[in-house]
């Protein structure tokens, strides 16, 4: 059982937790890039005269790829902004 102040982790479990932290950090970094990319497009459109209240932005990071991320060409295609008219 888990007790306060006692480390019961095995080295293998500790190594897996470190890998999990790296994955979450990578995911968070990509999500921030995605949101920043979308916000930059909104800023550009506003600078060209489109009314700010008509625009919203959101980033989806790696949640909605259009192709594989296994190679650079696929990753480039997944770095995109989609505009949705409502």
Q: pLDDT tens digits for 2-52?
A: 566 665 655 555 566 667 667 677 788 888 999 999 999 999 999 999 998
What are the tokens at 60? 């989806």
Contact 60, 34 (CB under 8 A): yes
Q: Is residue 5 part of a domain?
A: no
Q: Is residue 54 part of a domain?
A: yes
pLDDT, position 73? 95
The domain in which residue 68 lies consists of 11-78
Q: Is residue 30 part of a domain?
A: yes
Domain count, the chain: 1
2-6, 41-45, 56-60, 81-85, range with the lowest pLDDT:
2-6
Number of C-beta neighbours around residue 73 at 10 A: 10
Question: Does pTM surpass 0.75?
Answer: no
């Amino acid at each position: 059982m888990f007790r306060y102040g006692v480390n019961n982790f095995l080295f293998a479990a500790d190594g897996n937790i470190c890998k999990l932290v790296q994955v979450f950090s990578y995911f968070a970094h990509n999500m921030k890039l995605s949101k920043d990319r979308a916000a930059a497009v909104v800023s550009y459109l506003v600078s060209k005269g489109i009314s700010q209240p008509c625009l919203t932005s959101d980033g989806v990071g790696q949640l909605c790829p259009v192709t594989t991320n296994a190679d650079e060409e696929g990753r480039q295609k997944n770095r995109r902004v989609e505009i949705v008219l409502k």
